[in-house]
Structure 1
Amino acid sequence: MSGAGDRGKALARWLSTGLLGLFLLPMSLSLEVSVGKATTIYAVNGTEILLPCTFSSCFGFEDLRFWWSYNSSDTFKTLIEGIVKNEKSDPKLKLKDDDRITLVGTTKEKRNNISILLRDLEFSDSGKYTCRVRNPKEKDLEHQATIILQVVDKLEKVDNTVTLIILSVVGGVIGLLVFILVLKKFIAFILKKTREKKKECLVSSSGNDNTENGLPGSKAEEKPPTKV
């Protein structure tokens, strides 16, 4: 009886967990934050870099709050904090820690962009940058995404030698196949013309032989009889 009771309790817990998951699934999929496909970006010291961030919500948003934070091995700080009143309002800043940072986001045309521009880069700016969004309309549901910035002395040139070699080989093979196809058609055309000319020569030669030998149907048959 004890084993059956334990199985019943386990089944009840499993069902309750599954139902809770089904309830929370739409919420977990509603608010999304993205910093693009690249997880790490590189920038040269002394230049500027755009740190992208966009958000989306299936349920819309009101008084949406957002943050950008910086995290390195020994430092953590909030760079900016702002709010988006509704879908018709542009993001507005409430806090900015660094004057080198400019909010370039907009909600126009449903872009929901809260990207930032970081100017006059320093090597100490290398680290993790996290874009975080909280939507009160979704019971303060929060989502975030992180991008890694590496500030370098100069950008390394990508060696495309192997790629160029592969493209050259593939292009050469395709060109050779096209040449062979064209040459094949040209040879077939020449052979066809040669056969036609040979056939005409045979017909012409056959007519000349009949005339010279005085065979029936030739001009020799039309000569008048010799008078005695």
Structure 2
Amino acid sequence: MEVRWRGVNPPKLGLLLTTINLIFSLLVGIRPTQALEMIVGKIPFLEAVNGSTVLLPCVYNSCIGIRNLYVNWQFNDNGTMQKVCEAVIRDEGVDTHMEIYRERVEFVGKNLANNISILLWNITFEDGGDYTCFGRNPKEKGRNHSAVFRLIVVDELRVVDNTLAILIASAVGGSIAALMGFMLLKNFTLYVLARMEEKNKECLVTSSGIDNTENGLSGSKAEAKPTPKKK
């Protein structure tokens, strides 16, 4: 059976159907990219002293929500990934029960939204390394994401040498003070010169008046000469 669309030529009809099929395929095939995200903070590392207690931060985020979200922490022990803890979060707002597989580890995110952070107590040098926060969301067809946080264990924290910063700050401050002093001196000098110029003008005017008086010009007080007598 041949189907004809009134007013549409067969070549144009084929092109139209192909375009429709392409658009439909694109719409059906669109899936969110990296909808699930695990976040360990803007600074994904920490330097801590041997024997101290540290927080390994991690929160998750999903633009379409979660259902039976699987999360865990793993420690990279010289290339071998060791599971630190794991949990399944059934839904948003549900308390999380974290299974702990390593000593001196405490889950601290149970009462905080989207938070799966953990504490490491009395850390040793063996605790130093990379910790991976992992999540897999079945609601997003098993999409998963992970983030790495590095722990550096040291004998003592390094003292930051601020000598260079202090020298730079002193130089900048001295330059600003010198510039302000120069501007004040310049303004004072201009003020003094202006006052001296005004006094010079006053002296010139006064001197001019005295000279005119002595020469008998207008406004002078010179004595009038007597009129000569006719013979």
TM-score where L is the length of structure 1:
0.75
Larger CA deviation: 142-151 vs 196-205: 196-205
Counterpart residue identity of residue 64, structure 1: L
> Per-residue CA shift, 1:35-54, capped at 9, x if unaligned?
12334321101111111112
Which of 86, 89, 94 aligns to 2:98? It is 94
1:28 alignment counterpart: 33
Which of 37, 40, 45 aligns to 2:45? It is 40
Mapped partners of 2:77, 2:213: distance in 1: 108
Asked if residue 55 in structure 1 is aligned to residue 72 in structure 2, the reply is: no
Mapped partners of 2:159, 2:210: distance in 1: 79
1:75-224 correspondence to structure 2 within 5 Å: 76-90=81-95, 92-105=96-109, 112-218=114-220, 220=221
Counterpart residue identity of residue 100, structure 1: R
Which of 66, 70, 84 aligns to 2:71? It is 66
Say whether the 8 Å CA contact 1:126–1:151 is kept in structure 2: yes
Please report how far the alpha carbon of residue 107 of structure 1 lies from its aligned counterpart in structure 2 after TM superposition. Answer: 7.4
Structure (1/2) with the larger helix percentage: 1
Mapped partners of 1:30, 1:178: distance in 2: 56
Cα distance, 1:215–1:31 mapped onto 2, change above 3 Å: same
Please report how far the alpha carbon of residue 180 of structure 1 lies from its aligned counterpart in structure 2 after TM superposition. Answer: 2.5
Mapped partners of 2:93, 2:180: distance in 1: 58
TM-score where L is the length of structure 2:
0.74
Say whether the 8 Å CA contact 1:68–1:78 is kept in structure 2: yes
Larger CA deviation: 46-55 vs 171-180: 171-180
**What is the count of residue pairs matched by the alignment?**
202
Mapped partners of 1:188, 1:86: distance in 2: 77
Give 5+ residue unaligned stretches, structure 1.
1-18
Please report how far the alpha carbon of residue 122 of structure 1 lies from its aligned counterpart in structure 2 after TM superposition. Answer: 1.2
Please report how far the alpha carbon of residue 23 of structure 1 lies from its aligned counterpart in structure 2 after TM superposition. Answer: 4.6
Mapped partners of 1:47, 1:99: distance in 2: 15
Please report how far the alpha carbon of residue 99 of structure 1 lies from its aligned counterpart in structure 2 after TM superposition. Answer: 4.8
Mapped partners of 1:158, 1:209: distance in 2: 79
Please report how far the alpha carbon of residue 75 of structure 1 lies from its aligned counterpart in structure 2 after TM superposition. Answer: 5.4
CA RMSD of superposed structures (Å): 2.9
Mapped partners of 1:75, 1:29: distance in 2: 26
Please report how far the alpha carbon of residue 32 of structure 1 lies from its aligned counterpart in structure 2 after TM superposition. Answer: 1.4
Mapped partners of 1:53, 1:93: distance in 2: 16
Runs of 4+ in 1 over 3 A off after TM superposition: 211-214, 223-226
Say whether the 8 Å CA contact 1:87–1:107 is kept in structure 2: no
Mapped partners of 1:174, 1:164: distance in 2: 15
Secondary structure of the 1:201 match is helix
Counterpart residue identity of residue 155, structure 1: L
